[in-house]
Structure 1
Amino acid sequence: MVEQYQAILAAEAAELKKRLPEGKLADMFERCYLNTIDTTVKELEDGSLFVITGDIEAMWLRDSAAQVHHYLPAAARHEEIYDLIRRVLEKQVYYMNKDPYANAFNVTANGRHYAPDRSGQTDWTWERKYEVDSLCFPIALAFELWKTTGRTDHLDYALKGVCEKVADQWAAEQNHEAESHYRFERDTDKETETLKRSGLGTPVAYTGMTWSGFRPSDDACTYGYLIPSNMYAAVALDQMSDIAETVWQDHALASRAKLLSQEIRGGIERYGIVEHGTYGCVYAYEADGLGNTLLMDDAGIPGLLSMPYFGYCDASDPVYQNTRKLALSSENPYYFEGTRLTGIGSPHTKPGHVWPMALIIQALTTDDNAEIDRLIHMLVENDAGTGYIHESIHKDDEMIYTRPWFAWVNSLFSEMLMKKVMR
């Protein structure tokens, strides 16, 4: 079946490419559009699909959902592409049932790990870093596949069971100090690779938000309430509620998901907004409910810059606009200005490295055509001659980059062109 998916998507890419001027941009679009299906999707002997991130032989819940997200329009036109995304969701549900605290999984129970840790990792888990957003992405993908195609085949009772499990976990992690059994410790000199207090993390108070051990970058949180991930959780819970009410007709789950979303949103608004001397009211990146907040933004999605992209607010929202200005300024310690690139990076990579993912999100969250054109030019002219987009690139030298094969950002680049240029 993978060959059939490839043929259909190759035809889609060829047609979409015609809507761009001939040249490097059009060629990069085609290559990036097809990168996921051509290089990362594997059909296993049991008939299931396994999706690697690129240069790492593991399946991330977050990345695998994002890698096929740009195929949603094709799924509305082709039953086969609907089937592709449905099968990716089936694999995600399978893994989430095994361990909803894990972020990345092995193709089989082969015992491979990124590194040994004391978290309760099993032979199935490549890594067991608990990241709230890892549970958001599959729920959002399932919801968007329904809304894009009108089909509900994928909204089965296996997914329903996972949604109930996610709601239970997010509710328990609202009271992390008292109710959580999750711990993560790794023997390392890097603070971003382990959690303090014997794996429990830094102290937090109840806020209504749900706790996360790690960020989308896979780095440890400084404070346990990661605001962008809580925003995405609130959105995913609203989507869960809609599915439960409309498709499953489970009024109890629908009400529970809606209430949990409201509690998280209330916590964000009470503990996640701070007054900045220059920009006014802005969202913090992290908080602990004890008075501590972290003002920054990371290139990973979900981040503060990407709030409108994943549906938490409109791009015109005043607090978002204030936060955007802060994120795209020297007030953000991970904003870098260089001779080749200027944009947001991450503590996950070396200082001075801009993430193309953040440049793409910057374009996706503005209607300023001049800004979009500038960002596209920056992306196309800093591919190091590969025709692909990378994880991070040194702000002054396109030849210094990380991850030569990173399918998610290639998919996101294609999605950005489809939404912002091919309108």
Structure 2
Amino acid sequence: MATVSETIGAAAARVRATSGERIGAMVEAALLRTLRDTVTIGADGSAFVITGDIPAMWMRDSTTQLTPYLRFLAECPPLAELVAAVVRRQFACLDHDPYANAFNDGPTGARYEPEDLCADPHVWEQKYEIDSLAYPVALAHALWRSTGDAGVFDERARRVLRTIVAQLRLEQRHDESPYRFERPGAKSTETLARGGRGTPVAVTGLTWSGFRPSDDACTYGYNIPANLFAAQALRAIAEIAEEVLGDSGVAADARALSAELVAAVRTHGVVEHGGERVYAYEVDGLGGVLLMDDANTPSLLSLPLHAPDVVDAEVWRATRALVLSDANPYYFRGEVASGIGSPHTKPGRVWPIALAVEGLTGTPADRRRLLRLIADTDAGTGHVHESFDPSDPTSFSRPWFSWADSMFCELALAVADDVERGDGAPA
């Protein structure tokens, strides 16, 4: 069995052989940096993972930061132990507050905004995002399927999985929910209307989310990529409940709710555009429909990665064409690059995360082109940034964003896979 350093060295060597010295060096540095600089092992053996430049742990980021390591779990037990430690901390966080998106390393009282309605000293921010429930499930499921080790599924995990199913079901009728989020004096994307309830929604079978994976408030309360990601995660919960926990009740409830979400997306989240059936980004069941995509995942573009068993391939292909065009108000073109951005950053900025997703869901040629593009737009820093000006990559946001680093690594490893399979020339 390989050590962590041997595993990372071998991965970087594969990338050097298929994509060149510079990209190989960037991948090796990023893989080492995430493990060295974002992870802290607690006294209880769990692992706290910061995002890079923010000292808090997001359920989403702490999962996506580990994505490129998942392929190595069977051959590298120390990496499998690390992922298990992260899963334990994620489950502990969700057990404490399943509505929060980001947590402190203990009851430090640190907060993004001291005036937020939530004053829990454990919570950095309590923006309810469906992906905060789904990502830890996806990580735990990947760990179990990769290694056969079900050790993370203890009584707390059982309780959390039940809570996730119950909360997703409760939020199908959001007006019955106790959740509120208010940030006094904040702009509209940083707080929720109607006294913290969010904009009105009809009961549709979809599950409500206050915020997007960007941490921006939803325009309409039913985020379609998040609903499909939840449907995929519920299928994983059903497998875990049935095969590991012996809990047929949770398994049946999770499977039924997954089917409800998929059916509701088909009815309310698929719309006509330009003669094609496409996924909307958000709807409210009252006639409100938002056609766009955001760089943060789960996104419409990322659905084959995050919801492979529940996405409609034909609808997604038409949606991909829409979101990678000027029909998406957050698709930006510049002299150096074109790609999807986000209202979370300055207008006109392209996000490397979205470029990586475009490659990972595209062809081998797409992957090679976009890997080279991300490397060439790092402004000479060796880091992959949150966003950049597509005409001037030296103008960027977040000098160190670990999630973006990890998505670049995942794309580089996918290119290596392509080349080694004979599916493409070196990048």
**In which range does the TM-score fall when normalised by the shorter chain?**
over 0.9
Aligned residues of 2:87 and 2:140 also touching (Cα < 8 A): yes
Distance between the aligned counterparts of 2:263 and 2:145, measured in 1? Answer: 27
Question: Match for residue 383 of structure 2?
Answer: 388
Please give the per-residue CA displacement for 1:290-332, whole angstroms capped at 9, x wherever unaligned. Answer: 1111000000000000000113458881110110111001110
Aligned residues of 1:283 and 1:320 also touching (Cα < 8 A): yes
Match of 2:251 among 254, 258, 278: 254
Question: Match for residue 301 of structure 1?
Answer: 297
Distance 1:22-1:419 versus aligned 2 partners, 3 A rule: closer
Match of 2:174 among 176, 181, 188: 176
1:362 maps onto 2:358 in alignment: yes
Question: Match for residue 78 of structure 1?
Answer: 76
Question: Match for residue 332 of structure 1?
Answer: 328
1:275 maps onto 2:272 in alignment: yes
Percent identity (aligned): 46
> One-letter code of the match for 2:382?
G
Q: RMSD value over aligned CA atoms? A: 1.7
Question: Match for residue 25 of structure 2?
Answer: 27
Instruction: Map residues 207-356 of structure 1 onto 2, 5 A cutoff.
Output: 207-276=204-273, 278=274, 280-312=276-308, 317-356=313-352
Q: CA deviation at 1:17?
A: 4.0
Q: CA deviation at 1:372?
A: 2.1
Match of 2:130 among 129, 132, 136: 132
Please give the per-residue CA displacement for 1:20-58, whole angstroms capped at 9, x wherever unaligned. Answer: 344211111212222210210112344432110000000
Distance between the aligned counterparts of 2:201 and 2:308, measured in 1? Answer: 24
Please, what TM-score do these two structures have when normalized by structure 1?
0.95
Q: CA deviation at 1:5?
A: 7.3
> One-letter code of the match for 1:175?
R
> One-letter code of the match for 2:251?
A
Distance between the aligned counterparts of 2:66 and 2:3, measured in 1? Answer: 12
> One-letter code of the match for 1:360?
A
Aligned residues of 2:231 and 2:310 also touching (Cα < 8 A): no
Q: CA deviation at 1:117?
A: 4.1
Distance between the aligned counterparts of 1:238 and 1:24, measured in 2? Answer: 40
Distance 1:279-1:387 versus aligned 2 partners, 3 A rule: farther
> One-letter code of the match for 1:332?
N
Distance 1:252-1:45 versus aligned 2 partners, 3 A rule: closer
Q: CA deviation at 1:420?
A: 2.9
Please give the per-residue CA displacement for 1:244-273, whole angstroms capped at 9, x wherever unaligned. Answer: 111112111100000010111111110001
Aligned residues of 1:12 and 1:74 also touching (Cα < 8 A): no
Distance between the aligned counterparts of 2:366 and 2:12, measured in 1? Answer: 27
User: Any stretches of 5+ residues in structure 2 without a counterpart?
Assistant: 419-427
Distance between the aligned counterparts of 1:54 and 1:82, measured in 2? Answer: 21
Distance between the aligned counterparts of 1:203 and 1:96, measured in 2? Answer: 26
Distance between the aligned counterparts of 1:389 and 1:15, measured in 2? Answer: 20
Q: CA deviation at 1:376?
A: 1.5
Question: Match for residue 187 of structure 1?
Answer: 184
> One-letter code of the match for 1:414?
C
Please, what TM-score do these two structures have when normalized by structure 2?
0.94
Secondary structure at 1:126 match in 2: strand
Question: Match for residue 405 of structure 2?
Answer: 410
Aligned residues of 1:19 and 1:422 also touching (Cα < 8 A): no
Distance between the aligned counterparts of 2:339 and 2:377, measured in 1? Answer: 13
> One-letter code of the match for 1:96?
L
Aligned residues of 2:15 and 2:413 also touching (Cα < 8 A): no
Distance between the aligned counterparts of 2:403 and 2:155, measured in 1? Answer: 28
> One-letter code of the match for 2:404?
V
> One-letter code of the match for 1:418?
L
Distance 1:316-1:214 versus aligned 2 partners, 3 A rule: closer
Question: Match for residue 393 of structure 2?
Answer: 398
> One-letter code of the match for 1:218?
D
Distance 1:399-1:18 versus aligned 2 partners, 3 A rule: closer
Distance between the aligned counterparts of 2:137 and 2:336, measured in 1? Answer: 37
Q: CA deviation at 1:148?
A: 1.4
Aligned residues of 1:13 and 1:34 also touching (Cα < 8 A): no
The alignment covers a number of residue pairs equal to 417
Q: CA deviation at 1:279?
A: 5.2
Distance 1:5-1:170 versus aligned 2 partners, 3 A rule: farther
Distance 1:340-1:199 versus aligned 2 partners, 3 A rule: same
Distance 1:59-1:410 versus aligned 2 partners, 3 A rule: same
Secondary structure at 2:65 match in 1: helix
